[in-house]
Each structure stands twice: as structure tokens, then as C-alpha cells.
Amino acid sequence: MRRMVRRTAASVSEWEALSSAAFVPLRVVADGPFTAQLDHRGRARAAMSSVRSGACRVLRDPAAASGSADDLALFSFQYGGRNLVEQNGRQAVVAPGHSVLYLTRSPYELAFPGPSDLIVLQVPTDWFGMPMSSLTALSARTMSARTMSAHGAAALRTASMIVRSHFGDNPVFEDEGHALRAATELLVAALRRESRRPASGLSHDALYASFRRTIADNLDDPLLGVPAIADLHGVSVRTVHQIFAERGERAAALVRAQRVARARTLLRETTLPVPDVALRCGIPDPTVFARTFRREDGQSPTQFRAASNQTIAPPPASGVL
């Protein structure tokens, strides 16, 4: 079972103590009232942390960096607000949807001009299997799927999906160790491509997460299936079946379940005609869509929409409290 370890800081001093214990010794500076929240999960020096912070500056000063035995890579996925990262004479402006790498062996400064929401993947640098010079060259540089190569962007999006899902209700991996290893492996693949170094083959955990991300990104494609997944990832159809079977799952069943889940959302939250919902779920034949939906949900799409509308209370009339 995943451990809930969320902590709240109501002052700068509390946040400095929390963040220093979770990562490495740090100094925090902020003006005025301050609150922050940390959900830290991991083992030993490897961890994932969900951070929600008010405006502040976080400093890793030269004395702390030079006097510490920690040699960690911190990779930040930004989901809300902005983060300015300074290290090695460079500054990266990290907006939502962007990421950045920084290293604990060198001084750095993080500046959050307003409320910020991010997840930090923290792992020993030796997990990367890359020269420190290559990691240093990549630090404090804004990264995003839009600016990376296709393969690097896909690996980065999958790593982001893994870490973000671990703080939600439907994690890709229940086990923290599997999540950490798979996310780091995919991050390494993305960084190696950015530094023009060859990327090694992915483990079954990393491939499984990549398959899940491919399915989620392509639900509207009628041709989405095991052959397409295999082709996109350069593996055999047998390998796709094997990787899902290792987890007691079937790829086709997951595609169908996710298509129906998207259909439920569209039927509940939009007024799109049912045939248009079917198209957006990758099932262009309305008859096949209705049959698939009924098999998964026990009722037709029209019946589901009618029942959903009945459960939504109408807004109060003007002037009524």
C-alpha cells in the first residue's frame, strides 16, 4: 500500500526544515505570510516529492554544496506556477508543462514568484550512467516535449505520467521502487537523446508505462491496437502481449476500458451527439460504440447520459440561498 506522508509548513522556518530533510540542506527566504505542502515518498536517497509552495526563494549555498556527501540529481516537473532555476551560470524559466534538471553537488537557487505546483524526482547521479560533465551541461536548462526530439519527448512525457500518477488515485505502479526506477530510466533515455548519446533498451516496467502513455494519447485513433503499439515502440506484438500478461492485464482490454472511460466523461460533461463522442473515442461506427459501451457499463450511452443528467442538481433560482 502507498504511504501518505503529506506535511504542511505554516512558516518559512518549518518549510526550510521540511525541505532540507526531504532533499539536501537548504535555506528558504520569503516575504510575508507563507505556507507550503510536501508529500515525500521514497527509499533512502531515491524519492518522489509533490511540492505546493507559496512565493519564496530556495538556496543551496556553496558551503552546503561543498560540505555535503550527497550527489543527487533533482528533476522537477512543473504543473502549476513558475520556477526560476539558477545553476552553473545559467537560468532556466520553468513554466507549466516544462521540466528542469539541477544537481546537489553545485550551488543553486530556485525562485518561485508565486504559488507553485511541481513534482521532484530525486535520484543518485550514478543511476544515470552518464558522465558528470554531460549532466552538468544539461542542468538549469528548460526542457519540454515541444523542444525535444520525438523519442526524447515521448520518454519525458511517460516519466511525468508515472510520477504524477503516483500522487493520484490510479498510479501506474503501486510500488514506489518500481515507479522510481521506471521514471528514472525513461528520464535517462530522454536526457541521453538530448545530449546526443545512444539510449539503451528499456526494461519491461518502462515499456509498460510507455504503452500506457501511448494508449492514453491515442484513444481517438481507430487503428490503436497491439500492432500499432508495438510498431510505435519498435518491439514485437508478442512483447506487448507478454508485458501486459506479466501484470495480469490485456492490452486490448485496457484500450477498450480507457475508451469507455473517456466516453463517460464526454457524455457527462458535454452535449456532443453520441456519434461524435464515438469518434473522439476511436470507435467511428456508432453501433459498435454502443455495443462496446454497454458491455463495459451495463447500459447504452444514451441511458448513461440521461442518468448522469438526473444526478446533477439544478442551480438555485436567482435570489434563493
pLDDT in tens, 24-41: 889 999 988 899 999 998
Q: Is residue 63 within a helix (H) or strand (E), and if so which, with residue range?
A: helix 62-66
The model's pLDDT over 155-195, given as tens digits with 9 standing for 90+, comes to: 899 999 999 999 988 899 988 888 998 999 999 888 887 76
Distance CA 165, CA 223 (A): 26
- Average pLDDT on 221-230 reads 92
Distance CA 268, CA 91 (A): 44
Could you write out the DSSP letters of every residue in 91-154?
Answer: EEEE-TT-EEEEETTS-EEEEESS-EEEEEEEEEGGGS-S-HHHHHHHTT--B-TTTS-HHHHH
At 219 the three-state DSSP class reads coil
Residues 6+ apart with CB under 8 A from 211: 229, 233, 240, 243, 244, 251
- Average pLDDT on 299-307 reads 91
pLDDT at 65 (0 to 100): 76
Which residue, 88, 99, 77, is CA-closest to 135?
A: 88
Query: Which domains can be identified in the chain, with CATH numbers?
Result: 6-217 (2.60.120.10)
Distance CA 25, CA 5 (A): 20
The model's pLDDT over 106-156, given as tens digits with 9 standing for 90+, comes to: 999 999 999 999 999 999 998 888 888 889 999 999 998 787 878 888 889
- CA distances for 184 relative to 28, 64, 121, 162, 269, angstroms: 27, 25, 8, 10, 36
Q: What is the residue type of 29?
A: V
| Bridge partners (DSSP) listed for residue 80 | 117
Contact (Cβ atoms closer than 8 angstroms) between residue 87 and residue 116: no
Average pLDDT, the chain: 87
pLDDT at 69 (0 to 100): 65
Q: What are the start-end ranges of the E strands in 233-277?
A: none
This prediction has a pTM of: 0.79
The model's pLDDT over 49-68, given as tens digits with 9 standing for 90+, comes to: 999 999 999 999 888 777 66
Whether the pLDDT of residue 98 is over 70: the answer is yes
Distance CA 279, CA 186 (A): 32
pLDDT at 170 (0 to 100): 86
Distance CA 55, CA 31 (A): 8
